[in-house]
Structure 1
């Protein structure tokens, strides 16, 4: 299959927690953004929960109406990079992206309604529909590389979207900024969550280590 080079880039406490409200208070938060620029992956992917709380205009009910029912895409803007969001059911609302330098691109399932896709088209937002109930990430990445020309992207979402890309065998590199702090709360999201696999860990190869005066450490691993 054709696909971009995919890097999971996250900031975490030393106990592996990624709650944004927590990491924003830790030393190393500024290094997260400088290292994100350094990995040279201007196209970025977020999960629905992250997008709904931090990027979109909230959610709406587009569930009624005829379903798409097939793999398809719509390229509503030509850009060198995109802000990609996974939204399997097609619920998030957006502003108009006409003329945006880094326009949104929605990854959704074939179970999405034509009403929602028309809404995206009317707002100049590109989309890729693949997968029956959930986004088929492999198929979506093939379309993204082949039809949209994306060569590198960073996954900057929550643990579930990170885990989805890793479980699908799509991740080439993991980039972690570890802040000098402990979260310790039960039930907080971690770098990778929700993977359906056994207890055997996924082996990684250390690419580089960089430390900072504020105690943060930047770790890069290859798969």
Structure 2
């Protein structure tokens, strides 16, 4: 299987929480972007919940005709060194027309997405991949990203569900964690990986590098 080299890169509090509204106040938040750049990952991947909070337009897409596309397909609207990939299984997020962004938007959906939604993305010159009958087939999507979009390295940058989905699909090559010098402590806040069954076995990692920053942040890199 030919796929990109895939890194999960996250900033966390000392207690392992990743809430963006919290981490942006941690000492070392500037180090997060420096470490992301150091990883040389032109393409980044964001889950639907994070994208809805930070990237998409308000509201959700309402299809007049819910007929699904029902087959594997993709549409490449822009060739670029890297893409801003958003995972949106059912095609709910709203987007403005594509501009001249350095990293063009690419939406990843399942084959259950309405044809009408994909047509809307096409009309806005936004690239997309529809793959997987009921849920997104991440392994197949990775193959398409490598073969059709030329993606060689990419970083999963949140949140918990998408991080865990790539981990459970066996697609992560590396986990990169920047620990900010602070504690969250609020109950119920998301962790880097979350949602596995209670009897799921532990995923073992191999530590490859540790770096300390003047901010008090610590950067840990693990091979999966």
The Cα of 1:100 is off from its aligned counterpart by 2.9
Tell me what 1:154 maps to: 155
Judged with a 3 Å threshold, the aligned counterparts in structure 2 of structure 1 residues 18 and 64 are, in CA distance, closer, same or farther, namely: same
Tell me what 1:53 maps to: 53
1:155-198 CA-to-partner distances (Å, cap 9, x unmatched) read 00101100000000000000000011111111100000123473
Q: Is the Cα contact below 8 Å between 2:61 and 2:117 reproduced in 1?
A: no
Tell me what 1:40 maps to: 40
Q: Does 1:6 align with 2:9?
A: no
Instruction: Report the TM-score, using the length of structure 1 for normalisation.
Output: 0.96
Partners of 2:155 and 2:98 in 1: how far apart?
Answer: 21
Q: What is the root-mean-square deviation of aligned Cα atoms in Å?
A: 1.3
Report the count of equivalent residues. Answer: 223
- Larger mean CA deviation between 99-108 and 32-41 belongs to 99-108
The Cα of 1:80 is off from its aligned counterpart by 1.2
1:190-223 CA-to-partner distances (Å, cap 9, x unmatched) read 0001234734311111110000122110000001
- Larger mean CA deviation between 178-187 and 103-112 belongs to 178-187
Q: Residue 184 of structure 1 aligns to a residue in which SS?
A: coil
Structure 2 gaps, min length 5? none
Partners of 1:142 and 1:195 in 2: how far apart?
Answer: 25
Moved segments of 4+, more than 6 Å: none
Partners of 2:129 and 2:64 in 1: how far apart?
Answer: 18
Judged with a 3 Å threshold, the aligned counterparts in structure 2 of structure 1 residues 153 and 174 are, in CA distance, closer, same or farther, namely: same
Instruction: Report the TM-score, using the length of structure 2 for normalisation.
Output: 0.96
Partners of 2:200 and 2:108 in 1: how far apart?
Answer: 30
Tell me what 1:214 maps to: 215
- Larger mean CA deviation between 126-135 and 106-115 belongs to 126-135
Partners of 2:200 and 2:66 in 1: how far apart?
Answer: 42
Partners of 2:157 and 2:18 in 1: how far apart?
Answer: 11
1:105-147 CA-to-partner distances (Å, cap 9, x unmatched) read 0000100111000000111111100112221111111111111
The Cα of 1:96 is off from its aligned counterpart by 1.4
Partners of 1:45 and 1:196 in 2: how far apart?
Answer: 24
Q: Does 1:20 align with 2:34?
A: no
